[in-house]
Amino acid sequence: MAIQDQPNGPAELPPSAPATPPTLSPSGAARRRFASAGTSGVLLTLASTPGMAATLCATPSGSLSGGLASAHGTPPACTGLSPGYWKMHPEQWPTASTLTTDLYGTLLKSCTGTSYQTVSMMTILEHQTYDDCNIGMHVAATYLNIKAHKMNVLDVAKLRAIWYSYRSKGYYAPTAGVKWYAADIVLYLRGTMDLLAT
């Protein structure tokens, strides 16, 4: 039995509508900026592992080179606790117990004329509508982690410099030609925390 040709040639499929790319979440956009800045696959893998403690124990500029440890000097320490942990355990806060009522703006500086200036450290550890990507929440937890000696890749002065740059410019530059916006900074700070600690 012979196969008959269609009178007008083979049937054509109707053209499909072009696919619209999905919009990225702030953390997805942060990962894309990290990737385009030449960040190592190690960092991207650690930062994108859902539900796991993704520790990135390096200075901000060191995080771009993908090095998790140095053969020289003091080994890096990153056993920081999450904002939620500090919120639920104020009795474990370092220094005086008045730290829970201290103003975030007083401790982190450079917050004049903003909602950050008048919020307490305890309050900023939960989501605030003005806190883009929860950056203030993560900076506060990092401050507590530094004071509790749970990390040594940042000190208070460096954390304040990151915060000041973000508040004054809208980004922080860990190295020349690289800009970290709120989601990028949060991604880095989360990488210094043990997110599974309870």
Q: Encode pLDDT of 89-117 as tens digits.
A: 988 888 655 666 788 888 887 666 788 98
Mean pLDDT of 152-178: 93
Which residue, 89, 92, 86, is CA-closest to 104? Answer: 86
* Close Cβ partners of 119 (under 8 Å, ≥ 6 residues apart): 103, 104, 105, 128, 136
Q: How far apart are CA 144 and CA 34, in angstroms?
A: 26
Specify the range with the lowest mean pLDDT, choosing from 38-42, 84-88, 133-137, 189-193.
Answer: 38-42
Q: How far apart are CA 139 and CA 163, in angstroms?
A: 8
Specify the range with the lowest mean pLDDT, choosing from 41-50, 54-63, 183-192.
Answer: 41-50
Q: How far apart are CA 145 and CA 29, in angstroms?
A: 26
* 26-40 pLDDT per residue, tens: 555 555 555 554 443
Residues in the chain: 198
pLDDT band for position 72 (cuts 50, 70, 90): low
Asked if 60 contacts 174 with a C-beta cutoff of 8 angstroms, the reply is yes
Q: Cβ-count burial of 99 within 10 angstroms (0-12 exposed, 13-18 middle, 19+ buried)?
A: middle
Give 168's Cβ-side CA count (13 Å radius): 9
Looking at per-residue confidence, does 46 or 154 come out higher? 154
Mean pLDDT of the chain: 75
Which residue, 151, 160, 18, 130, is CA-closest to 79? Answer: 151
Task: Catalogue the E-assigned strands of the chain.
Answer: none
Q: What DSSP designation does 50 have?
A: T
Asked if 80 contacts 145 with a C-beta cutoff of 8 angstroms, the reply is yes
* 167-184 pLDDT per residue, tens: 999 999 999 999 999 999
pLDDT band for position 132 (cuts 50, 70, 90): very high
| Residue keyed to tokens 């730290």 | 99
Q: At what angle do helices 182-190 and 135-147 cross, to 10 degrees?
A: 30
Q: Residue 101 — φ and ψ, nearest 5°?
A: -100, -5
* Close Cβ partners of 93 (under 8 Å, ≥ 6 residues apart): 86, 99, 100, 144, 148
User: Tell me, what's the pLDDT at 162?
Assistant: 95
Q: Is the pLDDT of residue 21 over 80?
A: no
